[in-house]
Amino acid sequence: MLESILVALSFGIGLLVVQHLRRFDLHEQEPFGAMAAVALCGGILSILISFFLYRMLHANGIHIRAGIPSTLIFVGLVEEAAKLAALFFCLPIIRREMDEPTDGLIYMACVALGFSLIENWFYATTHPLQTGLIAIRLVICTPMHIAFSIIMGLAFFWTMRFKGGWGVLLLAYLFASAYHALYDILASQWILLPALYLVVKGGYLWMYRLLGYTAAISPFRRPLAETLLEDGRPALEEGLECLDCGNRAPKPTSRRGRIRVQRCEACGAYLCSPSDLAQIVHQYGSLFGSLKRRSRRLSRHRKNLWVLVDGNRIDRKKQVACFRLDEFSDVLEKLSQEVRKRTERAWWFPLRVEHQLGGD
């Protein structure tokens, strides 16, 4: 009974993570049917492949035991290879959908979701739940399976699009396997749980960095100002109160996916809700993850007015955010470029490592 609850819980958490990732697949959303098909086929295939690889290891005298950390390195190598191979087998389903780098991440995440759910189910039904450690594993390992693998999703996209060679894919695979093994080693002992926390947090940060990066380089990405101005004269809707001039009249209202933005006709300021402002920063500034710390730093000496990134402000009492379009749009463009440069300079960035190894 407890097993079923935990497996259902991990399924729910996994779905939430994919739904969360999908929110960041902003510029051209992937069809839900293709994602579900990849999760199902990719999940089953990756489990079969890993089963086969474990059998081969076993035949060669390598036995995986939770008590022996060195054998857990093979777990990372086997399971990441299985997920990557399964993604290749899913290529007929997704070939036509793969038109921006984020798609590689999204479909890799779907394979990892499928893999992890089947694995959890096996795990829960074959291990009696005697220790809390297994419960913790079941709940956090689905998001972690996704976090380890998505770097391979990016490399997969590049390899398919001939921007990176097979070396990029190999490097991404080795990074994913190493992170996976590190996680497994730390998860195998109670005493290592604080370190496990750091690895889990690092996994999330890594995932957000890659999502931000692929959003920043998406061929469909356009500056905020450009996309809002193309509306011409949108329909009037009930207006938010303008923070610059106090105007409460109905305002021309534009929608871009989840985002709803109004323009104050009296002074030219743009208005939206604070959550829409955060979504704008994700979508146009390519900054993912929590914006809280950044916002706290920028807002330190203010009472009711908060700043999310430069070039805007939020009235926390009125729940209205306000910005000047050109200024804010420039800030977002700069943020996107920063995300792009920072990621390409990172020591683990596969294209960079491949170039260094290749000597050019």
Name the residues that contact Zn ion, by CB under 5 A: 242, 244-245, 247, 264, 266-267, 269
CA 156, CA 178: separation in Å to the nearest integer?
18
Beta bridge partners of 320: 315
Cβ atoms within 10 Å, residue 312: 24
CB of 252 to Zn ion, least distance (A): 12
CB-wise, 22 or 324, nearer to Zn ion? 324
Nearer to Zn ion, 17 or 264 (CB): 264
Say if CB 286 and CB 215 are below 8 A apart. Answer: yes
**Angle 137-142-146 (CA atoms, 0-180°, nearest 5)?**
135
What's the min distance (Å) between Cβ of 247 and Zn ion?
5
Nearer to Zn ion, 304 or 337 (CB): 304
Residue 263 CB, nearest approach to Zn ion (Å): 9
> Minimum CB separation from Zn ion for residue 228, in Å?
16
- Which residues make beta-bridge pairs with 136? none
Alpha helix stretches (DSSP H) within the chain? 2-23, 32-59, 69-89, 91-94, 101-126, 132-160, 166-187, 193-216, 224-229, 274-285, 292-298, 325-345, 350-358
87/264 with CB nearer Zn ion: 264
**Nearest distance from C-beta of residue 250 to Zn ion, angstroms:** 13
Residue placing its CB nearer to Zn ion in the complex, 131 or 319: 319
CA distance linking residue 89 with residue 53, whole number of Å:
16
Which residue from 308, 277, 305 is spatially nearest to 293, judged by alpha carbons?
A: 308
How far is C-alpha 59 from the chain's CA centre? Answer: 37
Q: Please state the closest distance from residue 324 (CB atom) to Zn ion, in A.
A: 11
Closer of 177 and 262 to Zn ion (Cβ) = 262
Q: Which is nearer to Zn ion, 27 or 324 (CB)?
A: 324
By the 8 A CB rule, do 64 and 74 touch? yes
- Tell the smallest beta-carbon distance from residue 323 to Zn ion (Å): 12
CA distance 142 to 144: 5
Q: Which of 327, 358, 224, 235 is nearest to 279 (CA)?
A: 224
